[in-house]
Amino acid sequence: MGGGGDLEQRGVAAVGAATGRTDRAGAPPSRPGRARWLLAGGVAVALLGLLAMLGYGLARQQGVGGLAINATGQIGRVRPGSAPDFAIPLYDGPTFRLSEQRGKVVVVNFWASWCPPCREEAPVLERAWRRYRDRQVVFVGLDLWDSEKDGRAFIRQFGITYPNGPDAKGVAAIDYGLTGLPETFFIRPDGTVARHWIGPLTDAQINAFIEEALR
């Protein structure tokens, strides 16, 4: 009679040993114990989900290469003196050099294909270029932290016709004290900066800033 009981007890102990979860009598944990394990697992999954969401939000705010995504517009700091000169190879054309544009208003726009506000303002820039290109106003776009393939695709998608090229090493971005993307500098005919705008531009803003630089 006692043999059956011993076999049952040894079987229970073996199950507990295989799973690594036994109580003092060698039996598997009780249902309340299992509930605690399930609760702990659920909390861990929730925390991981929250961390993933926070990471995604931070990535969207920071952009690429430590640059912020400037989703809202604001006035930027204007440094005294002439705008820093730069030369970039254009995607479709020769090298563009800022110092060769003296006597004209130059609109310098920093952008990237992965930047949502840059996509928002792309049609605004193209419309302004078409309005002012016969008034001694030059536009140039500097594509930052982007691949040539993505940069060219962006230009095709938005039908951009003014000169654009890569700021491949970010030299111009550093010289201009860029904080993020997009950012735009409005340069007077004498080479000084009339306006620095952080964030996407509206039609009314870009018209006003160009007129300001023309005066």
Structure confidence by residue, pLDDT tens digits, 150-205? 999 999 999 999 999 999 999 999 999 999 999 999 999 999 999 999 999 999 99
Domain 69-214 has CATH 3.30.70.260: no
137-161 burial: b if 16+ Cβ within 10 Å, else e = bbbbbbbbbbeeeebbebbeeeebe
Model's pTM, two decimal places? Answer: 0.72
- CA 59, CA 139: separation in Å to the nearest integer? 30
Domain ranges of the chain: 12-62, 69-214
Model confidence band, residue 57 (pLDDT cutoffs 50, 70, 90): very low
Question: Residue 12: which of 2, 1, 24 has the closest Cα?
Answer: 24
